[in-house]
Structure 1
Amino acid sequence: MARVLPFPALLSTLGSQLETDRPGARGVPQPSHIRPLLEAPNPDAELERWRASGAVLRDPRPALYVVELHGPAGRLSGPPVRFLLCSLRPDAAAPLEHDPYRPRSWCAEPAITLAADDHGVLRTLLAEAAERGGVVWQGAFDGARVVLRRIEPSAVSKRIQSVLDEAPMRPLAALDEQHPTLAAVVPLSDPGLQLEPIHRALKGVETFKEETFLTLVNAYARTYELDEPLTTPRGLAAARERLATLISGQHAVLLVLPEGRGKILRFRQGLDLAHLKGAPRNPTLRSLDLALLNSLVLRTVLGIKDPEAPAHPHVFPVRELESLVQGVQSGIFQAGFALNPPPVWEVRAVMEAAATLPPWTLRVEPLPPAGLLFLDPQA
């Protein structure tokens, strides 16, 4: 288990509006003021220069922080999503995914960490701490209101630490093995937290011939036609709804084809996956949509070797369904497979089984922006 601790933060002067820069390494928008730090040859050394020059000021009192992310302006939304910013000591915290993202700086990019919170205790404590915490900064980023609050050492902060000492926690990024990591812990029980899928695109796969593929995949999945093209907002919305409603007791993926065509593949029940060479040995992982796609479709039907391997020459992760459709439409990709969002209970089961997901399985929305505060490399 990892250990959550208060830390003396490095704070910078921020305006009320954080300017959005181009997406970073994970395709995530970042505030423009953090870009010189993350692109420096040695980000931690650059952060130390910022501290020495007075560009950031060190708060000598260790504390925890809560960052609140409100819904975008003009949209109906409930309570804000709250992340606990803390120092995370990597005692034995295995990442949730194989080959996790490695931050350019463990002091500047918060490692998103999911915490099991089956009864909502952590969520309630973060709300209570936010009510009592003092505002360090508030403003807007990427169309949404952001509030950073300082949680003084108190009975509430001790209760938060006590809960997290016992709760299963899994980071989505690699942690620094030698030093504490700046982490953003979020309870899985937060109703505003969205777990989004990462889709798959194919390029240069010689074995993919549409008619032959559909014939072979019929042994593992039933095919459903879509009424409208995927190149229109209405068609995309209908495809998402159809994909989500066909999975009662089963699993399905959306096959994206050229000319805006799409078909839904619903995997047949009672498939014996244990004998397949490419199927995960862990029964919990065998129930994941991505595991079924990798083992049944990519490995078995198409004969692609190690589709989960990082930087695969023929299988590419794609974050957004719109980008996947556009890539196939423009000819960048041959075809694509879109997935449903992973349900919270499924991610919780993976954590409970002490298993790890295939690379590029999921992403979290919303995300706290980097650069609200920093972990002092010298602390």
Structure 2
Amino acid sequence: MARVLPFSALLTSLDSSLEPGDGPPRGNAAPLPTHVRPLLEAANPSAELRRLRDSGGLLKDARPALYVVELHGPAGRFSGPPVRYLLCALTPDAVPSLEQDPYRPRAWEVEPAVTLVADDHGALRALLAEAAARGISVWKGQYDGSPVSLLRIEPSPVSKRLQAVLDEAPMRPLAALSEQGQTLAAVVPLSEPGLELCPIHRALKGVETFKEDTFLTLVAAYARVTELDAPLTTPQGLSAARERLATLVPGQHAVLLVLPGGRGRILRFRQGLDLAHLKGAPRNPTLRSLDLALLNALVLRTVLGIQEPEASGHPQVFPVHGLESLVAGVESGTFQAGFALNPPPVWEVRAVMEAQATLPPRTLRVEPRVPAGLLFLDPEV
């Protein structure tokens, strides 16, 4: 089990509005506001953090504490509740990451490792709300136009209850943890209503076996193919495609095939397929029910003959964030075709955690995420 601990924080002066840095999302890495980029781009970020602390450029908190960050994501824009993360230290003996080949931060003291917690009855969510109501405001402002609040949780009965709950709750980080020291972690319960699990799509490049007509004929043995009416290059077409993909009969699985010219096909996998005999299918029955596992085993491995499509850094299969980016990549000729997936449902992620299984690399990311640079973990503690 992971050990959640208070930590000695290093604080910096923050403007009322943090500017987002350039670049696409980096999986489950923390977003990088512009003020923290020079630190993480240093040759040795941990050494640079020590230098800043020793030179007086950072304020050290008087004693170890826990912190709560309140973020407004997609739900917040519609006056929904904030998503609350607990900022804490995780010990090196924590449980393994939820995904294979997880993102490795440049500095474990700077980039908070998103850590999901099974919270079936909402106990942790309620405790975080109570802690936030009693917390001491450290900073309040905006990041990328959305409100953010940082609150200090003094050592108290509430903080002890938080630690007690997390000592027993199943939790899995979405980033690699430090093996030598503590890791700055951003712990969030899966029960948070404003938490969004976003899929990471797949794109193909340089696959000689992908010929559209032949592919559609062969894949029909495993999936029912339905053509979309509106082109994916229009906002109406994108919305319609998302709705078609998301409104399947419960228990069915499907992916969206993205083709040049804004064309799209829904590939709805046939029910009752025996995956156990397929070489590329996961041995774990829980993992065999994932949309990404079906895509890897049935479409990429079996139909197209791609070897180990789930491997990190694959030369022909590329992870892509966002359906718009996937469609744009196919339209520009960067990719031959793409496969868009539904967000993994919370119950599915919970089942993987319960089975002590590990997801394929780059299966999902969460939104909203805690931006790096709100505070740092003192590397000397």
With the length of structure 2 as denominator, give the TM-score of the two structures: 0.98
Match of 2:130 in 1: 128
Assess, with a 3 A threshold, how the Cα gap between structure 1 residues 75 and 109 changes in structure 2: closer, same or farther. same
Name the CA distance, whole Å, in 2 between partners of 1:160 and 1:140.
Answer: 27
After the TM superposition, which residues 197-346 of structure 1 pair with which residues of structure 2 at under 5 Å, given as runs?
Answer: 197-346=199-348
CA deviation after TM superposition for structure 1 residue 96, in Å = 0.2
Contact 2:75–2:194 (8 Å) recurs in 1: no
Contact 1:16–1:138 (8 Å) recurs in 2: yes
Contact 2:73–2:367 (8 Å) recurs in 1: no
Match of 2:32 in 1: 30
Segment of structure 1 superposing worse, 21-30 or 204-213: 21-30
Name the CA distance, whole Å, in 1 between partners of 2:75 and 2:212.
Answer: 43
After the TM superposition, which residues 359-374 of structure 1 pair with which residues of structure 2 at under 5 Å, given as runs?
Answer: 359-374=361-376
Give 3-state SS (helix, strand or coil) of 1:125's partner.
helix
Name the CA distance, whole Å, in 2 between partners of 1:180 and 1:29.
Answer: 21
Match of 1:15 in 2: 15
Structure 2, unaligned runs of 5 or more: none
For 1:304-329, what per-residue CA distance to the aligned partner results, in whole angstroms no more than 9, with x for missing partners?
00001111100000011000000001
Match of 1:43 in 2: 45
Name the CA distance, whole Å, in 1 between partners of 2:20 and 2:362.
Answer: 24
Contact 1:37–1:43 (8 Å) recurs in 2: yes
Match of 1:354 in 2: 356
For 1:170-204, what per-residue CA distance to the aligned partner results, in whole angstroms no more than 9, with x for missing partners?
00000001211000000000000000000000000
Contact 1:139–1:147 (8 Å) recurs in 2: yes
Name the CA distance, whole Å, in 1 between partners of 2:75 and 2:95.
Answer: 36
After the TM superposition, which residues 33-72 of structure 1 pair with which residues of structure 2 at under 5 Å, given as runs?
Answer: 33-71=35-73
Assess, with a 3 A threshold, how the Cα gap between structure 1 residues 285 and 251 changes in structure 2: closer, same or farther. same
Give 3-state SS (helix, strand or coil) of 1:198's partner.
strand
CA deviation after TM superposition for structure 1 residue 225, in Å = 1.1
Contact 1:73–1:144 (8 Å) recurs in 2: no
Whichever residue aligns with residue 48 of structure 1, its letter is R
Assess, with a 3 A threshold, how the Cα gap between structure 1 residues 92 and 72 changes in structure 2: closer, same or farther. closer
Segment of structure 1 superposing worse, 64-73 or 332-341: 64-73
Give 3-state SS (helix, strand or coil) of 1:75's partner.
helix
Name the CA distance, whole Å, in 2 between partners of 1:66 and 1:215.
Answer: 53
Name the CA distance, whole Å, in 1 between partners of 2:60 and 2:94.
Answer: 29
Whichever residue aligns with residue 23 of structure 1, its letter is G
Name the CA distance, whole Å, in 2 between partners of 1:339 and 1:229.
Answer: 18
Give 3-state SS (helix, strand or coil) of 1:240's partner.
helix
Segment of structure 1 superposing worse, 167-176 or 90-99: 90-99
For 1:235-279, what per-residue CA distance to the aligned partner results, in whole angstroms no more than 9, with x for missing partners?
000000000112422100000000000000000000000000000
Match of 2:144 in 1: 142
Name the CA distance, whole Å, in 1 between partners of 2:75 and 2:291.
Answer: 33
After the TM superposition, which residues 150-161 of structure 1 pair with which residues of structure 2 at under 5 Å, given as runs?
Answer: 150-161=152-163
Contact 1:115–1:168 (8 Å) recurs in 2: yes
For 1:105-153, what per-residue CA distance to the aligned partner results, in whole angstroms no more than 9, with x for missing partners?
0000000000010000000000000000000001000110000000000
Assess, with a 3 A threshold, how the Cα gap between structure 1 residues 129 and 307 changes in structure 2: closer, same or farther. same
Match of 2:165 in 1: 163
Structure 1, unaligned runs of 5 or more: none
For 1:37-77, what per-residue CA distance to the aligned partner results, in whole angstroms no more than 9, with x for missing partners?
11111100000011011111111311000000024799313
Name the CA distance, whole Å, in 2 between partners of 1:363 and 1:160.
Answer: 25
Contact 2:3–2:94 (8 Å) recurs in 1: no
Match of 1:196 in 2: 198
Name the CA distance, whole Å, in 2 between partners of 1:74 and 1:308.
Answer: 34
Give 3-state SS (helix, strand or coil) of 2:59's partner.
strand
Name the CA distance, whole Å, in 2 between partners of 1:264 and 1:318.
Answer: 18
Give 3-state SS (helix, strand or coil) of 2:309's partner.
coil
Contact 2:76–2:194 (8 Å) recurs in 1: no
Indicate the percent of aligned positions where both proteins have the same amino acid: 77
CA RMSD of aligned residues (A): 1.3
Name the CA distance, whole Å, in 2 between partners of 1:375 and 1:257.
Answer: 46
Name the CA distance, whole Å, in 2 between partners of 1:74 and 1:351.
Answer: 27
